Structure 1
Amino acid sequence: MDLLDDYLADVRARGAVFCSTVSAPPWGLRFTEPAPLALAAILRGEAWLVPAEGKPVGLRQGSVALIRTQWPYTVSDRPDSPPRVLVDGDDRCTLTDAPAEPGSLWSVVGRTVGDTTDAGSDLLVTAAYRGGGALCEPLLDALPQTAVVRPDPSLASLLDLIAAEVERDEPGQQVVLDRFLDLLLVRVLRAWFAGAESTPPPGYRALADPHIGHVLRRLHEDPARPWTVASLAGEAGMSRTTFARRFSALVGRPPLAYLTDWRMALAADQLRVQGATVQSVARDVGYADPFAFSAAFKRVRGVSPTSHRDGALR
């Protein structure tokens, strides 16, 4: 396991929406209740992403945008095109009464918008990623409202597979596309965080260091182990002082502070499970004393474990 594995452990695409223009634009999709993280890939043609705040962003064929916002946004053929389709929080598509240009044919069949067989049309696929809980927070916090990965050779073959699947009409299509989009999310995140303009989650770039990367993987594999700076330095094959300095420089925080934050994120998600108790969760994340665990949880998360659990299950 590594950081990205854990961040995305419970994040899954669900109900991908496919849109193509047929004959004449305009076309537009309005996402009225965005998921915590969404993706829009331009498989053919061009599109514009129009956020609630900020300037419209142009997307050409092969571009993929990650969208992280709680406000409605639109994807359309032009920035000023009125939305013809509304997509709600359950990924249901409904037509608006926006006027259509002559020759612009639209239909809503399940989650598919438009006729995807016209080779001359624009072809867009979007996916909403729900779940993730507290484990996903560092990843979401590291992303801007809109992160656009321009056409990249490492994504081209996967986008071709997605386009080919969209244009089929075979059993299991939705499941296949959702799985493809799970894979696309990982590839796009890698491409985005590899860019000089990005700020990856704490520890992400440290994975490339043979010593600190190994320690990070061990922490994520076995967070409940009674780790000390000395035992972690032993895993790294370094002296305590050298290890602590290098870990802090690469990860952005001291090793035990990083471990505590990760344990509290794990605990926050475990407390949301029906029947979980503070004592059992404390034990699972490495605390024999539930009082010490409660104090650490409140210090890191801002509320007591009991309040967090009761609020989640209410």
Structure 2
Amino acid sequence: MHTSASTLPDMDPVAALLGGPHARGAFLLRSVLRPPWSMRIADEAPLTVLTVLRGSACVVLAGDRTVPVPAGDVVLLRGPEPYTVADDPATPPQVRVGPGQVCTPVDGAPGDRMAGLGGRSWGNDAAGSTVLLTGTYPAPGAVGERLVRALPELVVVPADAGTRAVTELLATEIDRDAAGQSAVLDRLLDVLLVSALRTWAARPDAGAPGWYLAAGDPVVGPALALLHDRPAEPWTVAALATAVGVARATLARRFTDLVGEPPMSYLTGWRIALATDLLRDPGLTLTTIARRVGYASPFALSAAYKRATGVSPAVHRSTLVG
């Protein structure tokens, strides 16, 4: 049965993708630093959120590309390539942060030695002039990866009222040690990330992904919302066009032009991304996952999944628990 235009979902078609990267025990740290300081980050994390609470910093990428970060700005870093965060690009790294956030001092580096300062704080001087807040997503999830892949290697989001309010709250909460504090910090990190992403994507020069730009279109926006909200339905282009009240050819052409791929191709990618996230839950069978994302059987899901990713759902799940 087709969905009528009067029952189009109210869900923001961007919400599902913006809500994709969920922090699950994310690494969160406040760094308090006195110049000279420099840290080489080689943790291979897929996504890192960095903000300067006080003072200033710079990020040095491959090829010595240097990006200054003033207080209040939020930086999004897409891994896994290493980078350096320092007071000055000329300051040699004093510590190397590897996978699993393992810190190794660099012999012979100038400046004070980095050490724990209590709680979730770290640095070379508890009274340092620069304070950084770093949140690392070790695995943002497949739904989130669709968004992460659309990001440049580095995004600097200038401070605004929204991001500033969240960073201040996160800075306050990071020192608390109450019940459920890790969950609170994870959710605050998610809010900061989504706030920064929204601010970035709204800029005309951002190069935001097609699905974000298409969300406000009167035809494609509702179609995206339907695919996001009801992936298990047996959608065809004709059924989707009927649901949003346009001709099939109109929807197909407009969707492809704005999103960058045809509706059913987009739906397949969305279903595979959802399935990948669901595979993280050991309590869900492949049959249940298949039905939730629109496949009639685990065999149909497995075939589509292997075409899209090169491995079967069972093999992918084994890598998550192995």
How high is the TM-score relative to the length of structure 2?
0.81
Q: 1:176 to 1:260 in 2, by over 3 A?
A: closer
Query: SS of 1:215's equivalent?
Result: helix
What pairs with 1:1-314 in structure 2 (closer than 5 Å)?
1=11, 2-6=13-17, 8-9=19-20, 11-12=22-23, 14-22=26-34, 25-91=35-101, 96-101=106-111, 107-108=115-116, 109-114=118-123, 118=127, 121-164=129-172, 169-172=175-178, 176-274=184-282, 277-314=285-322
Q: 1:302 to 1:165 in 2, by over 3 A?
A: closer
Query: SS of 1:17's equivalent?
Result: strand
Query: 1:67: Cα distance to partner?
Result: 0.7
Q: Does the CA-based 8 Å contact 1:42-1:125 persist in structure 2? A: yes
Write the distance in 1 (CA, Å) between the matches of 2:188 and 2:278. Answer: 28
- 1:186-230 C-alpha deviation (Å, 9 max, x unpaired): 111111112233333341121112332222122111101111222
Q: 1:268 to 1:179 in 2, by over 3 A?
A: closer
The aligned amino acid for 2:177 is P
Write the distance in 2 (CA, Å) between the matches of 1:313 and 1:28. Answer: 35
Write the distance in 2 (CA, Å) between the matches of 1:177 and 1:155. Answer: 15
Q: Does the CA-based 8 Å contact 2:29-2:134 persist in structure 1? A: yes
Q: Does the CA-based 8 Å contact 1:19-1:116 persist in structure 2? A: no
How high is the TM-score relative to the length of structure 1?
0.83
Structure 2 unaligned residues grouped into runs of 5+: 1-10
- 1:146-185 C-alpha deviation (Å, 9 max, x unpaired): 111233344333334444556xx54347665543322111
Q: 1:313 to 1:252 in 2, by over 3 A?
A: same
Q: Give % identity.
A: 43
The aligned amino acid for 1:19 is S
Query: 1:35: Cα distance to partner?
Result: 1.4
Query: SS of 1:203's equivalent?
Result: helix
- 1:238-260 C-alpha deviation (Å, 9 max, x unpaired): 22222222222221111111111
Write the distance in 1 (CA, Å) between the matches of 2:283 and 2:169. Answer: 42
The aligned amino acid for 1:89 is P
The aligned amino acid for 1:26 is P
Aligned CA-pair RMSD: 3.0
Q: Does the CA-based 8 Å contact 1:18-1:123 persist in structure 2? A: yes
Write the distance in 1 (CA, Å) between the matches of 2:49 and 2:313. Answer: 33
The aligned amino acid for 1:171 is D
- 1:279-298 C-alpha deviation (Å, 9 max, x unpaired): 44333322224444333323
Structure 1 unaligned residues grouped into runs of 5+: none
Write the distance in 2 (CA, Å) between the matches of 1:160 and 1:113. Answer: 18
Write the distance in 1 (CA, Å) between the matches of 2:259 and 2:33. Answer: 46
Q: 1:233 to 1:6 in 2, by over 3 A?
A: same
Q: Does the CA-based 8 Å contact 2:95-2:114 persist in structure 1? A: no
Q: 1:175 to 1:278 in 2, by over 3 A?
A: closer
Query: SS of 1:287's equivalent?
Result: coil
Q: 1:151 to 1:284 in 2, by over 3 A?
A: closer
Query: 1:21: Cα distance to partner?
Result: 2.2
Aligned residues: 307
